Amino acid sequence: MGDDTDDVRAVLAAEDRRYRAMQDADLTTLTEVCAEELSYAHSSGVRDTRSEYLEKLRSGYYVYRRIDHPVERVEVLGDTAVVVGRMTADVEVQGRPKTIDNLALAVWTRASGAWQLLAYAPTSLPAPAA
């Protein structure tokens, strides 16, 4: 992980807050931690804006039952931070249960002193060798 700085700790706290809010369908917190310009990609290849993603959570299109998000490293460059890690989750997509296990890349930006998620991109793990 990057240097043990206040910025790294703040970004990790924002990551924790975001994932908790996803699991709780806490749209107020997600509105705060997600930048208006958010680009949120899903493992299906679909990409949402902030308003599209929040609407899918509000409507129950996505219901997160469990999320784990171990972080491998955080790099802070000025007012931008990149979080490299993994996301595993049990989620319902349109009422159908799905288990997700992805590599994850999150880009955070500092706006008015607070860290906000600017972009999220999961990558499916390669299929196991037969």
User: Given a cut of 80, is residue 73 above it in pLDDT?
Assistant: yes
Q: Report if residue 92 sits inside a domain.
A: yes
What are the tens digits of pLDDT across the range 92-128? 999 999 999 999 999 999 988 899 999 999 998 877 7
Query: What is the model's pLDDT at position 4?
Result: 55
The whole domain housing 57 covers 6-122
Q: Amino acid identity of 86?
A: R
Q: Is 78 left (phi over 0), alpha (psi -120 to 50) or beta?
A: left
Residue with tokens 């809010």: 21
Q: Report if residue 129 sits inside a domain.
A: no
Q: Report if residue 113 sits inside a domain.
A: yes
Overall pTM > 0.95: no
Q: How many domains, in total, are found in the chain?
A: 1
Mind giving me the DSSP string for 81-111? EEEEEEEEEEEEETTEEEEEEEEEEEEEEEE
Q: Report if residue 10 sits inside a domain.
A: yes
User: Given a cut of 90, is residue 7 above it in pLDDT?
Assistant: yes
Which of 74, 65, 130, 127 has the alpha carbon at shortest distance from 105?
A: 74
Burial class (CB in 10 A: 0-12, 13-18, 19+), 38: buried
Q: Report if residue 130 sits inside a domain.
A: no
Q: Report if residue 38 sits inside a domain.
A: yes
CATH code (residue 101): 3.10.450.50
Share of the chain above pLDDT 90, in %: 86
User: Given a cut of 60, is residue 83 above it in pLDDT?
Assistant: yes
Q: Report if residue 22 sits inside a domain.
A: yes
Q: Report if residue 127 sits inside a domain.
A: no
